[in-house]
């Protein structure tokens, strides 16, 4: 059976998910409309909580699959690791289409950003429902 890292969070009325290059999961319980990359708030994990097996996979610049579920709707994307990833942020997890790396970056060269997620999924998220994020190592 494939290993997966599960992050649980919540939706929020202010989630717009319109950012063109990133998507973010945060432990913060609130957000303003300016946080247009955020797709989940009140998450139970930050990047610093990443399991060892996933950290090792990403440091080898390998691929991951991220599935975002809310209600009966889900969407997925792929992204890649990098040897320079830090995994040190306690509150935020960011996935980027670009190759930019900082302490919040989980993965880069993503196939989707916030704006590319299914609007049906974002509409469910805006209702404040529970969100489940599943992250898998892809060999």
Considering the entire predicted model, what is its pTM? 0.96
DSSP structural state of residue 90:
S
Q: Please answer whether residues 85 and 59 qualify as being in contact, where contact means their C-beta atoms are separated by less than 8 angstroms.
A: yes
Q: According to the model, what pLDDT value does residue 139 have?
A: 86
Q: Report whether pLDDT(44) > 80.
A: yes
User: Which CATH architecture is the domain 4-138 placed in?
Assistant: Sandwich (2.60)
Q: Tell me: the pLDDT tens digits for 4-25?
A: 999 999 999 999 999 999 999 9
Q: Are 78 and 138 in contact (CB under 8 A)?
A: yes
Map out the domains of the chain as residue ranges.
4-138
Looking at residues 21-32, what average pLDDT do you find?
96
Give the C-alpha separation, 108 to 131, whole Å. Answer: 22
pLDDT in tens, 46-85: 999 999 999 999 999 999 999 999 999 999 999 999 999 9
Q: Tokens in use for 78?
A: 């792929």
Q: Provide the pLDDT confidence category of residue 137 given band limits of 50, 70 and 90.
A: very high
pLDDT in tens, 102-136: 999 999 999 999 999 999 999 999 999 999 999 99
Local structure of residue 2 (DSSP, 8 states):
-
Helices (H) and strands (E) in the chain, counts: 2, 8
User: Average pLDDT, whole number, for the chain?
Assistant: 97
Contact 107, 81 (CB under 8 A): yes
pLDDT at 52: 97
Whether the pLDDT of residue 1 is over 70: the answer is no
């Amino acid at each position: 059976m494939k290993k997966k890292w599960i992050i649980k969070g919540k939706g929020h009325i202010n989630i717009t998910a319109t950012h063109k290059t990133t998507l973010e999961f945060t432990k913060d319980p609130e957000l303003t409309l300016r946080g247009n990359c955020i797709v989940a708030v009140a998450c139970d994990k930050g990047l610093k909580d990443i399991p060892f097996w996933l950290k090792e996979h990403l440091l080898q610049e390998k691929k991951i699959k991220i599935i975002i579920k809310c209600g009966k709707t889900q969407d997925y994307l792929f992204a890649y690791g990098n040897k320079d990833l830090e995994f040190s942020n306690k509150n935020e997890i960011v996935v980027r289409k670009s190759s930019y790396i900082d302490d919040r970056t989980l993965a880069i060269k993503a196939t989707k950003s916030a704006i590319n997620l299914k609007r049906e999924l974002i509409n469910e998220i805006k209702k404040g429902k529970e969100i489940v994020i599943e992250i898998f190592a892809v060999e």
